[in-house]
């Protein structure tokens, strides 16, 4: 049971080993909770991604959490609890950079080597994690 108001929850993910749950909100915050005894939980840490979080996925073997946000894809290290890598789509109009599309969804392939992402411009993009 979560003993805190977590705001406007937008998405959630459970780690492959079932020991953690991550919650993403419309205000850009991600909270990671440790699950104890299957029924109780304790907040481990929070991170503000400064952009609405639409989807979260834990990688099966890398110790990272991936977030789909209005600003793109963010890979968060579970060790450092910081964004280690960010992927955005750059868009230019009349030689000026303008806000690009946001990432709405994501998933890994069965090997965990590829990340597939769905974007607000209607495109599916994929990235190698190796």
Does 3 reside within a domain? no
Q: How many C-beta atoms lie closer than 10 Å to residue 102's C-beta? A: 19
Tens digit of each residue's pLDDT (9 = 90 or more) over 16-40:
988 999 999 999 999 999 887 766 6
In tens, the pLDDT along 4-19 reads: 666 688 899 999 988 9
Looking at per-residue confidence, does 122 or 93 come out higher? 122
Residue 108 lies in a domain: yes
Does 76 score more than 90 pLDDT?
yes
- Count structural domains, the chain: 1
Model confidence at 120: pLDDT above 60? yes
Phi, psi of 91 (to 5 degrees): -130, 135
Domain contains 2: no
- Structural domain contains residue 76: yes
Q: Is the pLDDT of residue 99 over 60?
A: yes
CA distance 94 to 65: 36
The pLDDT of residue 130: 73
Residue 41 lies in a domain: yes
CATH number at residue 65: 2.130.10.10
pLDDT at 6: 61
Please give the residue range of the domain that contains residue 25: 9-128
pLDDT at 100: 84
């Amino acid at each position: 049971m979560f003993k805190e108001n977590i705001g406007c929850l937008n998405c959630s993910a459970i780690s492959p080993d079932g020991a953690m749950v991550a919650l993403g909100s419309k205000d850009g915050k991600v909270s990671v909770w440790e699950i104890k005894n299957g029924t109780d939980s304790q907040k481990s840490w929070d991170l503000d991604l400064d952009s609405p979080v639409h989807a979260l996925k834990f990688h099966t073997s890398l110790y990272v959490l991936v977030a789909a946000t209005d600003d793109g894809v963010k890979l968060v290290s579970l060790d450092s609890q910081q964004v280690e890598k960010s992927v955005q789509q750059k868009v230019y109009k009349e030689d000026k950079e303008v806000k690009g599309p946001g990432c709405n969804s994501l998933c890994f392939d069965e090997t965990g080597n590829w990340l597939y992402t769905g974007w607000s411009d209607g495109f599916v993009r994929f990235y190698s994690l190796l």
